[in-house]
Structure 1
Amino acid sequence: MRIDAYNKITQMLQTNNTVRTSKTKGVSAKDHVEISRTGKDYQVAKKALAKAEDIRMDKVNDIKRRIESGTYNVTGEEVANKLVENYFNQII
């Protein structure tokens, strides 16, 4: 290990120097938080999604009806494509 290289790095970063800070007396301003319009829209959308049902029963009932009548035909390739598509959408 090269000590001279370490000394040069500490000099560059000035890690050996300390600076004293003084305490402030009193508070001159209070913190203020402002939520952007995008943030407010996000909150509204999140609340609406929380109220929505996770399962769309109209779609489920339609597929059940089509399966029972024999008109619901899906190939293995279509299923595989959807699985891959959903997988990549979760990664991104």
Structure 2
Amino acid sequence: MELQQLFEQAVINSKMLGDKPSNEVLLQLYSLYKQSTEGDVTDDKAPSNAFDFVGKAKFNAWSELKGKSKEEAMKAYVDLVEKLKG
């Protein structure tokens, strides 16, 4: 199966995990998904609302992956979902 198909199946599988992952793992899934589908974060500024903790956490997690190729991010996403399915 090609990487794109594996990734798409992993996205579906991520929504059917038995136990809800921790916030840290959810951020990993989010950032790997964004890097896989959009590439590097294009806006260098985090959300400006001081109380948007979730938005800032998501932005920071995604921006930490800057430079990682879409293919590397897809592979990491697939591997993480497989690990979570355990």
Larger Rg belongs to: 1
Please say whether Structure 1 and Structure 2 have the same fold, judged by a TM-score greater than 0.5.
no
The structure with the largest helix share of the pair is 2
TM-score, normalised to structure 2, is 0.26
- Bigger RCO of structures 1 and 2 (CA < 8 A, at least 6 apart): 2
TM-score, normalised to structure 1, is 0.24
